[in-house]
Amino acid sequence: MTDETFYAGVSEQARLLRKGAVSARELLDGCLDRVDRVDGRLHAFTVVLREEARAEADARDAARSRGEDLGPLHGVPVAIKEELDVAGQVTTFGGRANTRPAAADGEVVRRLRAAGAVVVGKTAMPEFGQWPFTESTAYGLTRNPWDTTRSTGGSSGGSAAAVAAGLVPVGIGGDGGGSIRIPAACCGLYGLKPQRGRVTSAPHPHLWWSLGTTGPLTRGVLDSALVYDVIRGAMPGDRFHADEPSSSFVDAVRAAEGTVRPLRIGWSTRSAVRGFRAELEHIHAVHETASLLERLGHHVEEVDPHYPDSTAAFVPQFFGGVRAEADEVEHPELLERRTRETLRLGAWVRPRTVEWAIRQGEKVAAKVNRVFDTHDLLLTPTIASRPPEVGVLDGAGALRAAWKAQPMIAFTALWNITGNPAAAVPAGFGSDGLPLSVQLVGRPHDEPTVLTVSAQLEQARPWADARPGLA
């Protein structure tokens, strides 16, 4: 198999598998070979499930030979972030403090397997996903395939590196402050954070309370939609539930192939975090994308979203989210020093404090969403700075790490507080040779509009053929 197969993406690999142009075992073995050749330089994977994945791929091929109905992800290799349960594997949350394997797949992983996907392994993250840099004492530094001296961002940086390097066509991540969109921006991928409650958090009632959600990182928009149509849907035990979308996500992407009604799109390069301004190349990317959207027939204008201070809504939920996950580990004495410092700093956060913060988030959402009274979408930068050199967290305590995180989350974290869908959309490359990205934010519960316009941008400014120079 050639690089074309490995970089083909979810939908194309699924098509090749369904028609028998390649078997699930052949594709998996090719992916494992690429992992062996490339991942030593990236550290995207924390564990590779070679024998389990081969057995799973063989089962997919056997089902096809028997003429059984094939799922939409039949034979497609997938990587899973370390915070999600995979049966028989330790859910490490990016650290060393857990040692007991999970008894069963989490619901998202179960749905992926039911759709025919083959789980290749688990991917790196900072401990409990606290930071937008994929670095930990347990697994070291995860490196950007476009430049291995640079960060992938985080916290889903392992999944991002695996997809960007063509090791798998999709990596599952999580987003509690930008952790899908930030690594997508750093690695040249498409990353949609869905509406809060769109994807189940089962077996847990929530992921970082109202902040977090789960979703894929992919090379293209259709790939993201295809995976979301498999994993979306809440469970009875979930704390949050999203409204039903107006269409399937795949149909929303395919709508871009026809006539799309003109939309009202506002753009802003103002940061939601005071004191942080986007670098010039990110501002130019927004301007160029705004001009492209105008040429595509949309009404585009600069707006001031009047961002309120969201500190009171975010910080208690951040501390409460880390505490909730830390309470699940078996050996808290093995937590990173920086994590233990986070837990000490957040000791004042009690359940009532978290509930108060969630209510503050609802007030923030009511103010911010006024921009959607007059606009269908909001266009902003995804991150404020260029991907930094790896080793960002070396020697940094919790407070210093939080300060270093601000330029990375300055445009993303607000939309975790409000719950709106928001996507990182590739926007070319910077002068440093690393990807550029812009963010499209939608009305509450309106992923279809975000996906349709994302697909329009992909058609007008294709990005999926770009690939890093890894052998």
List the catalytic residues: 81, 155, 179
Burial 372-392 (b: 16+ CB within 10 A, else e): beebbbbbbbbbbbbbbebeb
Closest listed residue to residue 391, CA positions, set 136, 95, 38, 129: 136
Contact 122, 99 (CB under 8 A): no
Instruction: Give the Cα separation of 356 and 363 in Å (integer).
Output: 11
Judged on CB neighbours under 10 Å (0-12, 13-18, 19+), 170 is: buried
Instruction: Give the Cα separation of 441 and 195 in Å (integer).
Output: 10
Q: What residues are paired with 301 via a beta bridge?
A: 266
Closest listed residue to residue 415, CA positions, set 224, 216, 176, 207: 176
Rounded to the nearest 5°, which phi and psi values hold at 253?
-70, -45
Contact 246, 255 (CB under 8 A): no
